[in-house]
């Protein structure tokens, strides 16, 4: 019989020799009974022999004690007798077997990691001496009590899912515990109302999804938000409850820090998180129906969880400490994306998001717009407050209607002359270092143009812009407004549609080119050299006028401005306020820093105030 067994073993070794040379595979059936030196279960012995690379022969205690890791997953093991000889074990994986009795494990006092998932364990008494255990998996067993875990003071990660456990009070005593899985257990009321919250308050990550449909939300403050959303103050939250929520808003006042459990809101369409202490977005990965996600002033950084949200059309990640946007590359459904106030420098991940209609990358570290050149449907681009100098690729975006590039490093805008004549309608190039604006001469259909804070002297390029409604030229080096003069071309003249004009902080002394700007409702020319307001006579639509820091003496040209409500006239040379009494719509006037006459100070100011006009005057 011994000879026959030896021959079988040799045959097996020959067959296996054609495979991996460094791996010895041994089926339990090849180990004959005479070689079972310690082990009652042939399948377990086979695993041990495989780990030692010793398919036959005596298993010396010294060799057994040298084994530190043993993987016996899904080997049909029933009996663990003999495992106590492997005294050096630090990791033992026994998942998916048929083990009932854990008594042989008592001797493994070096064990750190033990996986017993999907066995037939009903008692944990034998584990009590294993005080060095840090990771223990007991999912899918027959447990009713976990009281024996009390002595496992070093336990950090514990899986108890899908058992029959009701009492978890012992877990509160495990001070090193960091994570526990309790889904699929019939937890008692005390467990739900007292012990779980106690664990959460300590910072333990608790996962719970009960077979009865109740859902456990680890962060009690998130639970409160969800309860408000479903109008359910008492009783357990069920999957049915959470399925009714389509919109959820989490604010600073809610003080939520943990989103675990939000993944059960399967029908959530809109989620807003504002000024929150949330850091981990991984629970969002399961929100497959989410269409709108707004996260503002919340430092999330890692966006990996968003990768598979393929129904997301609107995503806001403003002031979220984001640097890497690579996880967004596959969200082809995105139409609106806002990334304001982050640390982003590389836009390459956006190259394939060809469905984008609106993009906001304001206040980042972007220098290169080339990755956007394929976004042919893009209509609105906000890229203020970056380090952009080159606008060469913008003309490729034929559908752009709004371009916002304020506070960048732009000096040359000549590439813009290649843009489609129908776009953009709104262009903001404020606070750059632009001198020459001749490239704008062809873009005659603009409605709003902001060129403030540059180094512009010549306005000739704007002569034909008949559709402008808002024009900001403040903070430049302009002395001559004559290119803006209206000579009657088109309905109402070249600038007949202009409503708002700001030419503050320039070197302008003559307003006569503005004489026919009858549609103006707001005019500002602060800190210039204007002394004569007569070109403004008859501007009946002006509601706000600010000429702070000029040389105006006479206010009489204003008397026919019947809709004028606010006047800024600080730091001029005004002495007499009589013309202001004809302004029936006047609500506010600032007059500090003028050489007002005694009569003006003593009588006229008081009379204006009696008419409930607010007069700002530092005397």
Q: Which of 523, 581, 585, 575 shows the shortest CA–CA distance to 554?
A: 575
Structure tokens given for 298: 């919340």
Q: What is the pLDDT of residue 423?
A: 75
> Residues 520-562: pLDDT tens digits?
999 999 999 999 999 999 899 999 999 999 999 999 999 999 9
Q: What is the pLDDT of residue 466?
A: 86
Q: Where are any strands of DSSP class E within 102-156?
A: 113-115, 135-137
Residue 212, pLDDT above cutoff 80: no
Q: How far is CA 452 from CA 471, 542, 604, in A?
A: 9, 21, 37
Query: Contact 307/284 with Cβ under 8 angstroms?
Result: no
Torsion over CA of 167, 173, 179 and 185, rounded to 10 degrees? 0
- Beta-carbon neighbour count of residue 594 at 10 Å? 20
Residue 614, phi then psi, degrees to nearest 5: -80, 120
Window from 13-17, 129-133, 282-286 with minimum mean pLDDT: 13-17
Average of per-residue pLDDT across 370-389: 97
Query: Residue 494 — very low, low, confident or very high, per pLDDT cuts 50/70/90?
Result: low
> Residues 74-101: pLDDT tens digits?
999 999 999 999 999 999 999 999 999 9
Residue 490, pLDDT above cutoff 50: no
Residue 30, pLDDT above cutoff 60: no
What pTM did the predictor assign? 0.71
Q: What is the pLDDT of residue 422?
A: 74
Q: What is the pLDDT of residue 215?
A: 76
Q: Which residue has the higher pLDDT, 31 or 183?
A: 183
Q: Is 311 helix (H, G, I), strand (E, B) or coil?
A: coil
Query: Contact 55/29 with Cβ under 8 angstroms?
Result: no
Q: What is the pLDDT of residue 200?
A: 84
Q: What is the mean pLDDT of the chain?
A: 90
Residues 556, 237: Cα–Cα separation, whole Å = 72
Query: Contact 525/511 with Cβ under 8 angstroms?
Result: yes
Residues 174, 182: Cα–Cα separation, whole Å = 15
**113 CB-near residues (< 8 Å, 6+ apart):** 90, 91, 92, 93, 133, 134, 135, 136
Quick check: bond before 424 cis, omega within 30? yes
Residue 185, pLDDT above cutoff 80: yes
Average of per-residue pLDDT across 153-160: 96
Window from 114-118, 176-180, 181-185, 437-441 with minimum mean pLDDT: 181-185
Q: What is the pLDDT of residue 1?
A: 32
Structure tokens given for 228: 């408000």
Structure tokens given for 162: 């899908």
Residue 375, pLDDT above cutoff 80: yes
**519 CB-near residues (< 8 Å, 6+ apart):** 492, 496, 497, 498, 499, 541
Residues 122, 163: Cα–Cα separation, whole Å = 9
How far from the centroid of its chain's Cα atoms is residue 504's Cα?
38
Window from 137-151, 154-168, 178-192, 379-393 with minimum mean pLDDT: 178-192
Percent of the chain clearing pLDDT 90 (strictly above): 77
Query: Residue 15 — very low, low, confident or very high, per pLDDT cuts 50/70/90?
Result: very low
Residues 549, 571: Cα–Cα separation, whole Å = 5
Average of per-residue pLDDT across 336-345: 98
β-strand pairing of 500-502 with 522-524: parallel
Query: Residue 499 — very low, low, confident or very high, per pLDDT cuts 50/70/90?
Result: very high
Query: Contact 396/373 with Cβ under 8 angstroms?
Result: yes
Query: Residue 31 — very low, low, confident or very high, per pLDDT cuts 50/70/90?
Result: very low
Residue 493, pLDDT above cutoff 50: no
Residue 376, pLDDT above cutoff 60: yes
Query: Residue 213 — very low, low, confident or very high, per pLDDT cuts 50/70/90?
Result: low
Residue 129, pLDDT above cutoff 70: yes
- Beta-carbon neighbour count of residue 346 at 10 Å? 16
Query: Contact 233/271 with Cβ under 8 angstroms?
Result: no
Query: Residue 179 — very low, low, confident or very high, per pLDDT cuts 50/70/90?
Result: very high
**12 CB-near residues (< 8 Å, 6+ apart):** 26, 27, 30, 55
Q: Which of 450, 449, 455, 420 shows the shortest CA–CA distance to 436?
A: 455
Q: What is the pLDDT of residue 58?
A: 87
> Averaging pLDDT over each range in 26-30, 214-218, 233-237, 247-251, which range is the top one?
247-251
Q: How far is CA 234 from CA 243, 379, 553, in A?
A: 17, 48, 73
Average of per-residue pLDDT across 476-502: 77
Residues 178, 146: Cα–Cα separation, whole Å = 17
Residues 142, 152: Cα–Cα separation, whole Å = 20
Q: Is 462 helix (H, G, I), strand (E, B) or coil?
A: helix
Q: What is the pLDDT of residue 209?
A: 67
Residues 291, 315: Cα–Cα separation, whole Å = 8
């Amino acid at each position: 019989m011994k000879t026959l067994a030896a021959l079988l073993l040799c045959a097996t070794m020959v067959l296996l020799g054609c495979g991996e040379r460094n791996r010895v595979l041994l089926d339990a059936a090849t180990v004959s009974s005479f070689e079972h030196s310690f082990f009652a279960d042939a399948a377990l012995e086979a695993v041990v022999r495989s780990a030692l690379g010793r398919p036959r022969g005596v298993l010396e205690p010294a060799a057994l004690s040298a084994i530190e890791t043993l993987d016996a997953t899904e080997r049909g093991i029933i009996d663990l007798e003999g495992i106590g000889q492997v005294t050096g074990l630090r990791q033992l994986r026994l998942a998916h077997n048929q083990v009932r009795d854990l008594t042989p494990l008592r001797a493994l006092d070096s064990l750190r990691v033990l996986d017993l998932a999907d066995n037939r364990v009903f008692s944990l008494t034998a584990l009590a001496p294993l005080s060095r255990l840090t990771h223990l998996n007991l999912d899918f067993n027959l447990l009713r009590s976990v009281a024996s875990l009390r002595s496992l003071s070093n336990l950090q990660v514990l899986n108890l899912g899908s058992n029959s456990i009701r009492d978890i009070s012992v877990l509160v005593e495990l001070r090193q515990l960091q994570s526990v899985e309790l889904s699929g257990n019939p937890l008692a009321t005390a467990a739900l109302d007292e012990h779980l919250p106690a664990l959460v308050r300590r910072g333990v990550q608790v996962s719970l999804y009960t077979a009865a449909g109740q859902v456990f939300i680890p962060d009690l403050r998130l639970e409160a938000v969800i309860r408000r959303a479903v109008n359910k103050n008492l009783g357990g939250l069920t999957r049915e409850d959470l399925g009714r929520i389509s919109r959820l808003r989490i604010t600073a006042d809610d003080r939520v820090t943990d989103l675990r459990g939000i993944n059960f809101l399967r029908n959530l369409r809109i989620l807003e998180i504002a000024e929150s202490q949330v850091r981990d977005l991984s629970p969002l990965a399961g929100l497959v129906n989410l269409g709108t996600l707004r996260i503002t002033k919340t430092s999330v950084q890692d966006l990996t969880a968003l990768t598979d949200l393929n129904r997301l059309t609107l995503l806001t990640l403003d002031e979220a400490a984001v640097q890497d946007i690579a996880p967004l590359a596959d969200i082809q459904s995105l139409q609106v994306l806002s990334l304001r106030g982050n640390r982003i420098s590389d836009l390459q991940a956006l190259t394939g998001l060809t469905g984008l209609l609106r993009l906001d990358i304001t206040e980042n570290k972007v220098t290169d717009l080339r990755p956007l050149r394929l976004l042919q449907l893009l209509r609105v681009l906000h890229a203020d407050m970056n380090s952009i100098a080159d606008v060469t690729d913008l003309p490729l975006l034929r559908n752009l209607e709004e371009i916002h590039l304020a506070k960048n490093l732009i000096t040359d805008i000549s590439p813009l002359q290649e843009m489609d004549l129908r776009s953009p309608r709104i262009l903001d190039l404020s606070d750059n270092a632009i001198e020459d604006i001749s490239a704008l001469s062809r873009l005659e259909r603009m409605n709003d143009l902001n060129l403030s804070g540059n180094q512009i002297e010549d306005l000739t390029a704007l002569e034909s812009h008949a559709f402008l409604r808002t024009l900001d030229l403040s903070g430049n080096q302009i002395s001559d407004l004559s290119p803006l003069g209206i000579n009657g071309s088109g309905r109402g003249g070249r600038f007949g549609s202009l409503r708002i004009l700001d030419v503050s902080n320039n070197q302008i002394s003559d307003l006569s080119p503005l004489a026919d700007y009858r549609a103006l409702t707001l005019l500002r020319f602060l800190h210039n050299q204007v002394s004569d307001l007569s070109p403004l006579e008859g501007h009946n639509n002006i509601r706000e006028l600010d000429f702070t820091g000029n040389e105006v003496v006479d206010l009489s040209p204003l008397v026919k401005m019947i809709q004028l409500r606010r006047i800024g006239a600080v730091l001029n040379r005004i002495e007499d306020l009589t013309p202001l009494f004809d302004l029936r719509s006047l609500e506010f006037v600032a007059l500090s820093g003028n050489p007002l006459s005694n009569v003006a100070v003593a009588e006229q100011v008081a009379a204006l105030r009696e008419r409930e006009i607010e007069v700002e005057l530092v005397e």
